[in-house]
Each structure stands twice: as structure tokens, then as C-alpha cells.
Amino acid sequence: MATTIVEGFSLSHAAILDGQTGAEQASIYGVRSGSLELDTDSYDNTGDDAVLSTWYWFNKATLTVQSGYVPFATVALLSNSKMTSSGAAPGDYYTLPLWELRTQNTPPFPVLVRVPSKDSIGTLRTLDFVLYKVQFQPFSFDGPTYKDGLLLNYTGSALPSAVTETGTPVLDSVTGLASKSIGRIVSRPQI
């Protein structure tokens, strides 16, 4: 029997979801690293020369993923561009516009980030971060550099959403009323 205490190891997979069924629409292939950082702020309520209370809130989360491959179809989807190809193997080639002005503010997508994990008694698990609404920035590159090669960077803002990755309404986990959420975290048997 598994426990609810889970330890994550490394990033193994990231994908863009379709927004209707939760199925993967495009894979971020060859993921090397990633991070998910919450943007928070606070306000100190003061009176009588003292802090009487503090209010905390979050605005969004920033998702950053770095990949060692350039998946043309995924980049085309995220930049709302069109990939074209010509020729036949082995002389075929692919082309994709590089940073068109109209691709600066593309539609948001739900995103899956997968982490292999195990629970506190050693049972192998999979930890999924499901983000409901990620607004991606234009992609960028690091390199190419000696021994590290060319790296593709995806960065986006995970915003609060009123619907899940399948388009169903987000319900508050305590009250059951309509709400907004950045996403959810799921621990399940290893797949």
C-alpha cells in the first residue's frame, strides 16, 4: 500500500494537452530541466506601531522547461505558426518561421509535467503536475555551445483558470463551489 508522502527525482516528461480530453497534443521532447515557481506577495496590516497581521496571495506560477531537441511540430503549435516541409526522404527538409511578430501573444494551453517518484516506504510512483492554463512566452535558445549543444527554452505563466485541462469547471476542494486554480498535483502508481 502506498503512502501520501512522495519524493520526486527528476523531470522525465512534459507535454502540451489538448484542453478537451486531457490527451497529449504535443510532447516537449528531450526534456533536460524544468522548474515551477510560484509568484507570491504579501501585505502587512499595521497598527499601534506593530504588524497586526499579514495577508499572503499568489498571482501565477512560472513554468520553465529546457530541452535538448527542437520538435518542429511542438514549436509551431506553441508559437501559433505553420511548419512546412518539402522533398522526400532522405532529401526532405522542414522550415518554421523564427519569431514572427504575431507570435508574441499566443493562446494558452494546458500542460503536463511528469516526475518519477517514490513514496516514503519506497513504492514507485509517478508525480504529475497538471497546469490548466499556461501562456507561453516566445521560445528562446541557449547555445550552441561546446559539449552542451543547442538548448531550446520554453517559459510560460501558469495562470489561475476556471476550467481544468478537460474543460470541466474547477471546483473549490473544500466548498465544492466554482473556483479558479492554477492546476493540480497527482501521485499515482508508476506508469
Phi then psi dihedrals of residue 119, to 5 deg: -90, 180
Look at strands 140-145 and 6-8 and give their pairing.
Answer: unpaired
> 38 near 46, Cβ under 8 Å?
no
What pLDDT, on a 0 to 100 scale, did the predictor assign at position 4?
92
> 183 near 158, Cβ under 8 Å?
yes
The domain spans of the chain are: 6-40+53-83+92-189
CATH class name, domain 6-40+53-83+92-189: mainly beta
What pLDDT, on a 0 to 100 scale, did the predictor assign at position 147?
83
What pLDDT, on a 0 to 100 scale, did the predictor assign at position 95?
94
What pLDDT, on a 0 to 100 scale, did the predictor assign at position 77?
93
Radius of gyration of the chain (CA): 20
pTM of the predicted model as reported, rounded to 2 decimal places: 0.90
CA distances from 112 to 3, 26, 109, 184 (A): 23, 10, 10, 10
pLDDT tens for the chain, 191 residues: list them.
788 999 998 889 999 999 999 999 999 998 999 999 999 999 999 999 999 999 999 999 999 999 999 999 999 999 999 999 998 888 899 999 999 998 888 999 999 999 999 999 999 999 999 999 999 999 999 988 888 889 999 999 999 999 999 999 999 999 999 999 999 999 999 87
Q: How far apart are CA 155 and CA 142, in angstroms?
A: 13
